[in-house]
Amino acid sequence: MNCITFDPPVHHADLRITIDFNSFEVRSGNLFGGIKYLSHGIHLISFGFADSEDAARYGYWFEIGPEYEYYCIEFDQQSGLFKLVSVFDRAKFEEKSRKIHPFMVSYPQIEDLDSSWSSFTNYIHKDQIRGILNNNSGYMDSSMTSLEEIKWLRTKLNQQPSNDEPFFNYTVIKFKSSDAIRDDHKMEDFLDKSYYLNNKIIKRDYQGHLNRLFGELQFSFLSVLLFGNYGSSLQWHNLIELICFSSEVDANTIKRIDQCVSLQLKRLSDEHSILLNEDMWKRCFASSFHCNDLPRIKEAIEPFFLEIADKSNDGDDHDDEDDEYKPTVAGGVYYQRV
């Protein structure tokens, strides 16, 4: 039985626990043994205080393989945080889990494939998660931002970077950089991101594996959805824009992007619209190379921006003095159900 146990099974505070898309509350003093019957694949468990929408959240990514795998959530008194621990003494773990089995909740089984967690994580691999989070524990929290944003903020504040500060080690995407625009192809590379996408991002940064781009697209989206993370929203938009404004992308990849991103957009609530870049979406459907090849995305985005396909960009926003790609600080948005 693939499961996570809690040690101790009784906590002193009211908790809101989220496993993937499913949230539930555990009241102080109540016995809670853990979560059982976890499906194979990537999962995310996170914690916050119940009855507090604005409280910071933190959690852990982990993977359940084809063999039985056991995890225990232990409360660390010194840090005041729950920690995810892999269990290697299986005999002892199985004996303990049998005793608390009646006090464990079952992982929900979703029949609708488009709504299932696996449809939102099918490109994400454990090694890529470790690379993005820059740690082996799978830890992340709602205060984290990208490494690029941290560097920019530290420079502005004239502060030295902290080695203990967690961050997202996302693939760096700078549309106006010398990496993206060659000196002898400035106009071509400014209008068409194909060279940047295929020769720099995919070939160099993803070692030729296009699925790693999809994995980062899914990871950044889930960080937005479940943690209200603005830095991840920037990365998610950058990846979509990079594809849309690259002419040399095959039809199958565009079809996959249309499927993947449309599912993501349908998962967003109206409150998430503050994290959507309206200008980027309007440009994608007004002047990108694939504006007529993304019917599912168009249908999914229109509830947020009515008549988006009929609104064109004024042509100068992309060259504004206020660079839209520089790091930005914004408040988080947190939800009980997603």
CATH code: domain of residue 175: 1.25.40.550
Instruction: Give Cα separations from 95 to 1, 107, 311, 332 (angstroms).
Output: 12, 20, 62, 41
**DSSP string spanning 79-112?**
TTEEEEEE---HHHHHHHHHHHGGGEEEPPPP--
Q: Are residues 307 and 183 in the same domain?
A: yes
pLDDT, position 266: 94
Q: Which two tokens stand for residue 107?
A: 């992982």
Burial class (CB in 10 A: 0-12, 13-18, 19+), 290: buried
Q: Which helix (H) or strand (E) holds 172?
A: none
Q: Are residues 71 and 165 in the same domain?
A: no
Q: Is residue 147 part of a domain?
A: yes
Q: Are residues 309 and 176 in the same domain?
A: yes
Q: How many domains does the chain have?
A: 2
> Which residue(s) pair with 272 in the sheet?
none
Distance, CA of 62 to CA of 137 (rounded, Å): 8
Q: Are residues 104 and 154 in the same domain?
A: no
Structural domain of 31: 3-109
pLDDT, position 59: 95
Q: Are residues 97 and 173 in the same domain?
A: no
pLDDT, position 66: 73
Q: Are residues 161 and 297 in the same domain?
A: yes
CATH number at residue 93: 2.60.34.20
Q: What is the pLDDT along the chain (338 residues), one digit of tens a residue?
A: 688 888 877 777 788 899 999 988 888 888 888 999 888 899 999 998 776 665 678 999 999 887 767 889 998 888 888 999 988 888 888 888 888 888 899 998 876 766 789 999 999 999 999 999 989 899 999 888 887 777 776 676 667 656 677 889 999 999 999 999 999 999 999 999 999 999 999 999 999 999 999 999 999 999 999 998 888 999 999 999 999 999 999 999 999 999 999 999 999 988 888 889 999 999 999 999 999 999 999 999 988 875 554 444 444 444 444 444 444 333 333 333 44
- Is the dihedral angle over the CA atoms 77, 78, 83, 88 positive or is it negative? negative
Q: Are residues 244 and 298 in the same domain?
A: yes
Q: Is residue 325 part of a domain?
A: no
pTM of the model: 0.85
- Is the dihedral angle over the CA atoms 183, 187, 188, 194 positive or is it negative? positive
